[in-house]
Amino acid sequence: MKAGAGQRLESLSGDIDRLLLASFLNSGGEFLSGEDLSATAGVSRTTVWKRIESLREHGFLFQSVPSRGYRLLSLPDFLHPAAVAAGMTTKRLGGTLVTYRETGSTNAAIARLGEEGAAEGTVVLAESQFQGKGRMGRVWASPPGVNLYASVLLRPPIIPLDAPQLTFLSVVAVARTISSCTPLTPVIKWPNDILINGRKVAGLLNEMTAETDRVATVVLGFGVNLNMTQEQFPAELRHPAGSLFLESGELIDRIAFTRRLLEELDELYGKYLNGGYGAIREEWISLCGVINRRVRIEDGSALSREGVAVGIDENGALLLQRDDGRVESVYTGDVSLCG
């Protein structure tokens, strides 16, 4: 096995499983006849039967009664691509969905697919990561079965200078998804973390490949702590961390959360391609916890800078107003609230 490649659990690039599962999920637990399923998916009844047998092997529980057809009793406890894709309303994302039981990192896995020519909108999901990555080479704790580890491949027609705009887009998508799937109120920490009650619940790691004047690929990488419990966090953390379960007291439906995130991303990306970055930036600013607050920026050098965060610019830099009134553009670093 190639280092870091991991075990590919299941991939989806056809529509049959997706159409069948959408029907079952919309059926309210009722029986569906083989004939109806055959018509819905546009395949023979034999193919319907074969696909259902295949889904059974992957943990979907079906009841079948000769005179009535099939009924979906339960979904498998992992991010099965067809379960995620069932009923999903995206236009550009998720045409190909691949789930790994375990991989080095979803970003590394999708980068390999990108090199092999994978299409825009390809999505990689993983149940766990053994080399989960945070920004600046840091580790991202990635226990199995409880969280969301996902990467999305884009091939946007933009120049490298504009690529950080997609980071803001992806942060807004996660914030929207949290607001939609939980009663919690997400707060953005520049540039790409999401906090609930001051604890980090999501991080993004976006990576690009580019020529001097055009972007080839952008990988949006998501780590969202969904149902992680306190004892699953590493003992030593740079910043306080939490999960949506710990903050809300409610278990998160991982499949529904993933589907919703892809839908939000898809909508924002469509808007972005149609010139909508301005509106996305406004939304980012409205969700951001540091705007108009006094912050300290540490960029790894001995010097740290303080000032008031007054906005973000076209290229994603944080605008920091220093005490002498000058406004500086901050491109990299860790930001923390002062006092």
Check: CB of residue 247 under 8 Å from CB of residue 184.
yes
How many residues are present in the chain?
339
Residues that contact a second copy, how many (by CB under 8 A) = 26
Check: CB of residue 71 under 8 Å from CB of residue 31.
yes
Q: Work out whether 336 is an interface residue with a second copy (CB under 8 A).
A: no
Nearer residue to a second copy within complex by CB, 135 or 293: 135
By CB under 8 A, the residues from 194 to 253 that bind a second copy are 205-214, 216
Q: Work out whether 138 is an interface residue with a second copy (CB under 8 A).
A: no
Nearer residue to a second copy within complex by CB, 3 or 235: 3
Euclidean distance between the first and the last CA atom of the chain, given in angstroms as a whole number = 50
Q: Work out whether 129 is an interface residue with a second copy (CB under 8 A).
A: no
| DSSP designation for 43 | S
- Residue 85 class from Cβ within 10 Å (0-12 exposed, 13-18 middle, 19+ buried)? buried
Nearer residue to a second copy within complex by CB, 130 or 331: 331
Residue from 229, 292, 332, 336 binding a second copy (CB under 8 A): 332
User: Could you tell me the smallest distance in angstroms from the CB atom of residue 272 to a second copy?
Assistant: 15
Check: CB of residue 92 under 8 Å from CB of residue 74.
no
Q: Work out whether 96 is an interface residue with a second copy (CB under 8 A).
A: no
Give the binding range for a second copy (CB under 8 A) out of 75-83, 160-168, 230-238, 264-272: 160-168
Q: Work out whether 304 is an interface residue with a second copy (CB under 8 A).
A: no
User: Could you tell me the smallest distance in angstroms from the CB atom of residue 152 to a second copy?
Assistant: 15
Nearer residue to a second copy within complex by CB, 78 or 190: 190
Q: Work out whether 301 is an interface residue with a second copy (CB under 8 A).
A: no
Q: Work out whether 328 is an interface residue with a second copy (CB under 8 A).
A: no
Using CA atoms, how far residue 248 sits from 117, 224, 232, in Å, is 41, 14, 17
Residue closest to 222 by CA, chosen among 98, 117, 132, 119: 132
Question: Distance (Å, rounded) from C-alpha 88 to C-alpha 21?
Answer: 11
Q: Work out whether 303 is an interface residue with a second copy (CB under 8 A).
A: no
Question: Distance (Å, rounded) from C-alpha 325 to C-alpha 93?
Answer: 44
| DSSP designation for 77 | S
User: Could you tell me the smallest distance in angstroms from the CB atom of residue 178 to a second copy?
Assistant: 20
Q: What angle do CA 111, 140, 9 make, to 5 degrees?
A: 50
Question: Distance (Å, rounded) from C-alpha 241 to C-alpha 193?
Answer: 11
Q: Work out whether 105 is an interface residue with a second copy (CB under 8 A).
A: no
Residue from 86, 97, 316, 320 binding a second copy (CB under 8 A): 316
What is the Cα Rg of the chain in Å?
21
Residue from 136, 139, 251, 327 binding a second copy (CB under 8 A): 136
Nearer residue to a second copy within complex by CB, 135 or 305: 135
Nearer residue to a second copy within complex by CB, 161 or 327: 161
Q: Work out whether 131 is an interface residue with a second copy (CB under 8 A).
A: no
User: Could you tell me the smallest distance in angstroms from the CB atom of residue 300 to a second copy?
Assistant: 9
| DSSP designation for 162 | G
Long-range Cβ pairs for the range 139-142 (8 Å, 24+): 139/234, 140/105, 140/203, 140/205, 140/223, 141/228, 141/232, 141/233, 141/234, 141/241, 142/105, 142/223
Give the binding range for a second copy (CB under 8 A) out of 20-28, 278-286, 302-310, 325-333: 325-333
Residue from 91, 331, 336, 337 binding a second copy (CB under 8 A): 331
Q: Give contact residues for a second copy (rule: CB under 8 A).
A: 135-136, 159-161, 163-164, 167, 191-192, 205-214, 216, 315-316, 331-333
